[in-house]
A = this chain, B = another copy of it.
Amino acid sequence: MKWDTLEEEPCSLSRTVAVVGDRWTLLILRECFLRVRRFEAFQSSLQITRHLLSERLKKLVRFGILRRVPYSEAPKRYEYILTQKGLDLYPVIMAMVHWGDTHMGDERGRPLLHEHKSCGKQFDPVMVCSECGEPLHAKQVHVHAGPGRRGADAA
């Protein structure tokens, strides 16, 4: 498959996967949510090659997930900050973290704990229905074609 055309498929998952569906991009986003913003900081905490880091950051900027903001004029230096579009990826990251906590843990317990500032408690993320507020389960969901769907492939 040509991954550049994936983002044009009539499937929202494909389009998302085209942008954030690779290992390094997801790990870079994790760092972003942990307030990492600079090239060297990403590089040293992830051990990603500088080449790939450079490329992934460019891609995230191109898709409007990160903004490249100057923080020094001489020499010109930039840092990478999540846009609203990027912040909106939080549920994706948290859903993955929670799955990892639940199914990939070891005897030592969770690597990270999350505290909700609003209520002060340690929490888990729960995905609910926007209409009735009940937790979502795959079997309770019926999928049907929407307006953005041509006949072709499953989406």
Contact = CB atoms under 8 A, between A and B. Distances in A.
Interface string A94-135: 111111111111101111111111110111111111111110
Q: How many copies does the complex hold?
A: 2
B132 A116 contact: yes
Given A15-B100, A104-B19, A134 B118 contact: yes
25 contacts: A3-B23, A11-B111, A12-B96, A13-B93, A14-B100, A17-B26, A19-B104, A88-B99, A89-B99, A90-B127, A108-B148, A109-B146, A109-B147, A110-B149, A112-B144, A113-B143, A114-B141, A117-B140, A117-B141, A118-B140, A119-B132, A122-B131, A123-B130, A123-B131, A125-B127
A128 B131 contact: no
A142 interface: yes
Given A31-B154, A34-B154, A155-B112, A125 B121 contact: no
